[in-house]
């Protein structure tokens, strides 16, 4: 595995044109979507949310000590996410998160590392090194981290760096995190040097990228967050690596839990057209080379996400890989295929009115969150797809981003306390690859505990899950 560094990564003309076109297409949704659909979604939300508390987020999880700790120490989880008009519309929220750019004064500066994989392919890591107009960035780590933690961000699977990702990078920089974006082969300006794109749920490239990050920052804690369809890659990585993921914790914003079902579903034609356009951009760039192994003309003329994915990865063999059909492809790429192997806390932020993921009753595996102590679902009435814009009080710029950073700190604090406590047998707790690095210098800063408040969910003491690390590999 080799890495080379280049200067700040800029958007190409084609990528900028794609963003502008995507912005125009999603803007048109406000005209074509009728209010009746939105009213139907609101009625569904009110009927499904527990205890009738429609304004506040709902936490769905297995009772555990960590869940209780997060509810007590993550104030944003108890705050309502009720944006003002017109941002209460899910399509307007989706537009703002996916295609609304940051201002020139808020531009994020990136430095790119190209990493060569074992098979000769190349992926990119874009390190957020600063904010335009800010001379010095916050290199001071906030407790409980002894050094600035690395935040690995996995963007959506269609290769566009959205306004949501840029906003998360900015907030992370301001609060002492070190954000880095994982860019797939052939996307976002990363060159395609092999005739192979990354499959939807194939974590092999991500595994090597995490190894490089650990080599470069061996003493830093590592957290990860995925955006939208990028969750297919993160969830697959967590399931395949188990307790050897080297992550302290992870989070997914508007995740796609059931990949095959999502590709086979019928999105509204404007969303489908926009996503297909973004998927076809890297293919058209390397059309001549890809024509050796693919029917590029058929691929560029397809009219559905399922057809595009099937032509790109199924029905042909490449680089000593066997042929796959549609069913066998998803046996290897379904995001939750190894969900029982996940051994780090995973927070999933979803909204009832997500127009891209679809109806939560069919697209969200509620049974997983109710049975696994590692999965936590935060469900809001409004938010769109990766939206979660400011509430009516305007206290935060993006509610979900504030929740993510509070969650990362909360889990780190909880694991730090857990590490100090011996097991019930009296022997010291054995460390795993997912726990926080030990503090080498300095002392832990003492802070007054936040005031106690009522819990949105009730946990009985007799069925409370005692947090024990699982050793799956």
Closest CA to 186 of 51, 279, 255, 295: 279
Q: Distance between CA atoms of 233 and 266, rounded to whole angstroms? A: 22
Alpha helices per DSSP H over 28-157: 29-32, 35-48, 65-73, 90-99
Of the candidates 126, 338, 385, 391, the residue annotated as catalytic is 385
3-class DSSP state of 122: strand
Active site residue 38: no
Closest CA to 187 of 212, 156, 218: 156
Sign of CA pseudo-dihedral 220, 221, 226, 231? positive
Buried b (16+ CB within 10 A) or exposed e, 50-87: eeeebebbbbbbbbbbbbbbbbbbbebbebbbbbeeeb
**What is the residue whose two structure tokens read 């900015």?**
170
CA-only gyration radius of the chain, Å: 22
Q: Distance between CA atoms of 396 and 388, rounded to whole angstroms? A: 10
Q: Which residues pair with 378 in a beta bridge?
A: 59, 349
How open is the CA angle 234-237-241, to the nearest 5 degrees? 150
Q: Is residue 271 a contact partner of residue 241, using CB atoms and an 8 Å limit?
A: no
In angstroms, the Cα distances linking 142 to 163, 190, 405 are 25, 33, 11
φ, ψ at 240 (rounded to 5°): -75, -35
Q: Is residue 409 a contact partner of residue 177, using CB atoms and an 8 Å limit?
A: no
Q: Distance between CA atoms of 228 and 99, rounded to whole angstroms? A: 14
Of the candidates 89, 205, 354, 391, the residue annotated as catalytic is 354
Active site residue 354: yes
Instruction: Say how many Å lie between the first and final Cα of the chain, rounded.
Output: 24
Question: Widest CA span of the chain, in angstroms?
Answer: 66
Determine how many CB atoms are found less than 10 A away from the CB of residue 40: 11
Buried b (16+ CB within 10 A) or exposed e, 391-411: beeeebebbbbbbbbbbbbbb
In angstroms, the Cα distances linking 3 to 65, 96, 154, 180 are 41, 34, 19, 15
Q: Distance between CA atoms of 320 and 309, rounded to whole angstroms? A: 20
Q: Distance between CA atoms of 187 and 248, rounded to whole angstroms? A: 27
Which residues are catalytic, by number? 354, 385
């Amino acid at each position: 595995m080799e890495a080379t560094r280049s200067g700040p990564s800029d958007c190409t003309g084609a990528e900028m044109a794609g963003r502008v076109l995507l912005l125009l297409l999603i803007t048109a949704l406000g005209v074509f979507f009728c209010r009746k659909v939105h009213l139907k979604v609101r009625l569904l939300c009110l009927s499904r949310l527990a205890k009738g508390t429609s304004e506040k987020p709902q936490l769905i999880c297995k009772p555990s000590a960590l869940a209780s700790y997060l509810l007590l120490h993550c104030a944003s989880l108890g705050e309502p996410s009720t944006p003002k008009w017109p941002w209460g519309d899910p399509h307007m929220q989706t537009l703002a998160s996916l295609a609304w750019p940051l201002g020139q004064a808020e531009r994020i500066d990136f430095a790119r590392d190209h990493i060569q994989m074992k098979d000769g392919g190349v992926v990119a890591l874009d390190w957020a090194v600063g904010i335009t107009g800010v001379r010095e960035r916050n290199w001071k780590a906030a407790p409980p981290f002894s050094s600035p933690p690395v935040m690995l961000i996995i963007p959506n699977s269609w290769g566009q760096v959205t306004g949501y990702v840029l906003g998360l990078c900015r907030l992370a920089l301001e609060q002492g995190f070190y954000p880095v974006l994982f860019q797939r082969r052939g996307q976002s300006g990363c060159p395609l040097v092999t005739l192979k794109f990354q499959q939807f749920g194939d974590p092999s490239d991500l595994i090597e990228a995490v190894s490089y990050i650990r080599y470069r920052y061996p003493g830093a804690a590592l957290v990860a967050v995925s955006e939208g369809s990028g969750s297919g890659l993160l969830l697959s990585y967590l399931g395949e690596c188990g307790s050897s993921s080297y992550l302290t914790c992870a989070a997914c914003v508007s995740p796609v839990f059931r990949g095959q079902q999502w590709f086979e579903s019928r999105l509204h034609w404007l969303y489908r057209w926009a996503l297909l356009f973004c998927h076809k951009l890297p293919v058209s760039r390397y059309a001549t080379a890809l024509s050796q192994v693919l029917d590029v003309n058929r691929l560029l003329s397809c009219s559905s996400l399922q057809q595009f994915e099937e032509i790109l990865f199924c029905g042909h063999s490449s680089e000593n890989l066997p042929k796959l059909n549609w069913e066998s492809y998803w046996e290897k790429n379904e995001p939750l295929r190894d969900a029982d192997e996940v051994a780090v806390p995973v927070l999933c932020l979803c909204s009832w009115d997500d127009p891209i993921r679809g109806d939560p009753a069919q697209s969200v595996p509620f049974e997983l969150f109710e049975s696994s102590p590692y999965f936590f679902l935060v469900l809001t009435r409004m938010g769109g797809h990766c939206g979660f814009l400011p509430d009516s009080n305007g206290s935060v710029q993006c509610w979900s981003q504030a929740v993510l950073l509070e969650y990362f700190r909360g889990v780190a604090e909880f694991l730090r306390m857990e590490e100090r406590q011996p097991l019930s047998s009296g022997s010291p707790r054995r460390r795993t690859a997912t726990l926080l690095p030990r503090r080498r210098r300095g002392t832990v800063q003492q802070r007054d505990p936040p005031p106690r408040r009522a819990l949105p969910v009730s946990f009985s003491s007799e069925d409370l899950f005692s947090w024990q690390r699982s050793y799956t590999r």
